[in-house]
Structure 1
């Protein structure tokens, strides 16, 4: 905002003017009604049903994973219920050749991208086989270090750019991850080189127990992308259609050589931050939970598809039953994996084993033979 001659520039007013431009993009409201007719939605009826099926499957996967964790049959697990639109609808806009660099809550996306579910279960257990990605599945294992995947994504995107690939590198983090230095470094690097990356911030309102408003003075996380020169948008993350369109358009720009984008999805996780002892009742109220449950992405999408004659209770029951069967088979296969040994880890760590590891290898080999 340029100041007129003779008038003093007001940086505070300039800040407010920028922040007011970040209106949340929405297509489907909480009642399952289209409220943005101008949005170019290119999904067929069959694709809409498939997207809903994946979201329902993912909700069941979350419920079952929580149960398995409580039974001691899984290790680390970060619940996903409430974020299905943000996760699955964004992935639905991607292509097989695209590369996903997930955070630890983003296991559903990499499963739908091709990682066998039984391997995802092994990854949760800390088994090295869970990190052995099949050939042709373009993912990295979920990143535990918060925000580190943003710097990695900038590098992967630059590599694709150098090789002339018409594909994108996509990453996710939460609102807490946007407070990390890696977040700024990643978007700045990708923006400077106009690399084909999509940076998604799933703003689920809390970084563990820290509310979003205590992490940053910025009124939106999306506006931080503007500072790095990235087209940035804030999206209703409980609206699968809006998330899909925003991601689809970001991908189109990236493969056309127009550089990276940042997408902030406004969403909510119903469960704890992880199953490792977090208690959300200590920092969230039941009123807050109830408010967000009314925005549920599956409920609103169900209303929309049912009104169009594309969904029914019978169809949803079929998807749920299929999900339960596939999850049961996957955990059985994970249970059948050989018990992990220290010598296994040493063997796969280096192409040529250094002297210090050779010594340790012999020690553990003797212990494991007893």
Structure 2
């Protein structure tokens, strides 16, 4: 959880300095991310939304790979073709997210259905979304399909109470987001998304059920988006930030876990700060390494579509290569 918090703060600082183009934090939602990630097993698939990069990091995606994908440099496995905050990790079965809200949910259900058809018992697909995603048609199609097919998936909604600038009260007339699953015959659970242990137990129940072949579960994790939607947003224009301060303070998931661990004698006073300092040093080192790597070669523009690039693509590449080149301000 600290790794996510520290990395997010450093990435946002880079964006403000003009060294990366865009960023979206998960501040205040780390318990929902890590508590659910801890349930996943190596054979499982992860289909994330915007704020689940920490799931990939938990499963083994390296900080260097994550930052390379933010810079879009030559070490980026997607060769600079994705926006920042859209990481992927093939080795750990962490699928790249889409900026199109909720389009990933049918993908998650489809992966789960494919595993069931293939007879891959014991595997689960975890599909994530925000509360705004549950208002999209793709969500309803996917949950209906999951219920009918008894797909081995856990669909997780991080209800941070804001769909960019739309509050939950204007998002749905349903008493809870979880009830949307019930309407499609899918068992639904609502848990405290800022309590990492509550998250773990709720998601573990759902994952165990899916592994047994007993079908999907829709899990609503109630949390709060403490930060802006992204680096392009100013939440003070549309919400009461005094409410935000309550969630930033006494309801902060890291503070709550720290209090619990200290009371149990599992964390010494001041140990959190020492851990954060080490993470900060590691992240800064990774940034230095990735900033030193050049952008992807121009030739990569026409790779990965056809087995052999067509004559037209080669002609277009030659025209680009002969034209003026402007160095990106995001590469030093």
Q: Which whole-Å CA distance do the structure 2 matches of 1:227 and 1:355 have between them?
A: 52
Which deviations, in whole Å up to 9, do the C-alpha atoms of 1:76-95 show, x marking residues without a partner? 21111100111111111111
Q: Does residue 98 of structure 2 align to residue 152 of structure 1? A: no
**Aligned-partner Cα distance in 2 for 1:307–1:76:** 39
Asked whether 1:164 is paired with 2:119, we answer: yes
1:348 aligned partner:
304
- More deviation, 293-302/201-210: 293-302
Q: 1:112 to 1:254 in 2, by over 3 A?
A: same
The equivalent residue for 1:33 is none
Q: Normalising by structure 2, report the TM-score.
A: 0.89
| CA distance, structure 1, for counterparts of residue 312 and residue 161 of structure 2 | 46
* 1:129 positional shift: 4.6
Paired residue for 1:284? 239
Structure 1 residue 100: Cα displacement: 0.7
Q: Which runs of 5+ in 2 are unaligned?
A: 79-87, 327-332
Q: CA deviation at 1:71?
A: 1.4
Report the count of equivalent residues: 315
Counterpart check, 1:57 vs 2:3: yes
Q: In the TM superposition, what are the counterparts of 1:166-181 in structure 2 within 5 Å?
A: 166-181=122-137
Deviation, structure 1 residue 179:
0.7
- The answer (yes or no) to whether the contact 1:168–1:196 under 8 Å persists in 2 is yes
How far apart, CA to CA, are the structure 2 residues paired with 1:246 and 1:141? 25
Q: Distance in 2 between matches of 1:313 and 1:164?
A: 49
Distance change >3 Å, CA 66–CA 134, structure 1 → 2: closer
Alignment match, 2:96: 141
From the superposition, tell whether residues 318 and 104 of structure 1 become closer, same or farther in structure 2 (CA, over 3 Å): same
Match of residue 47 from structure 2: 101
Match of 1:272 in 2: 228
After TM superposition, the runs of 4+ consecutive aligned structure 1 residues lying more than 6 A away are: none
How far the C-alpha of 1:284 sits from its partner, in A, is 1.6
Structure 1: gaps spanning 5 or more residues: 1-54
Q: Paired residue for 1:339? A: 295
Question: Which whole-Å CA distance do the structure 2 matches of 1:122 and 1:143 have between them?
Answer: 18
Which deviates further from its counterpart, 332-341 or 259-268?
332-341
C-alpha distance in 2 between matches for 1:318 and 1:266: 30
Q: Deviations over 1:219-270 (max 9, x none)?
A: 1110000112211011111111110001111110001001111111110111
Tell me the distance in 2 between the aligned counterparts of 1:159 and 1:319: 41
Alignment of 1:32-111 (within 5 A): 55-111=1-57
Match of 1:305 in 2: 261
The equivalences for 1:168-207 within 5 A come to 168-207=124-163
Instruction: Give the C-alpha shift of residue 342 in structure 1.
Output: 4.1
What does the per-residue CA deviation read over 1:196-223, in whole Å, with 9 as the maximum and x for residues that have no partner?
1111111111111110110111111100
Which range moves more in the overlay, 240-249 or 308-317?
A: 308-317
Which of 35, 42, 59 aligns to 1:113? It is: 59
SS at match of 1:77: coil
Point out the structure with max Rg over C-alpha.
1
**Whole-Å Cα distance in 2 between the matches of residues 116 and 354 of structure 1?**
35
Separation of aligned partners in 1, 2:188 and 2:23: 30
Residue 137 of structure 1: CA displacement? 1.5
C-alpha deviation, 1:349, in angstroms: 3.0
2:74–2:295: 8 Å Cα contact kept in structure 1? no
TM-score, scaled relative to structure 1: 0.80
Q: Hey, what does 1:229 align to over in structure 2?
A: 185
1:127 & 1:200 partners in 2: Cα distance?
A: 31
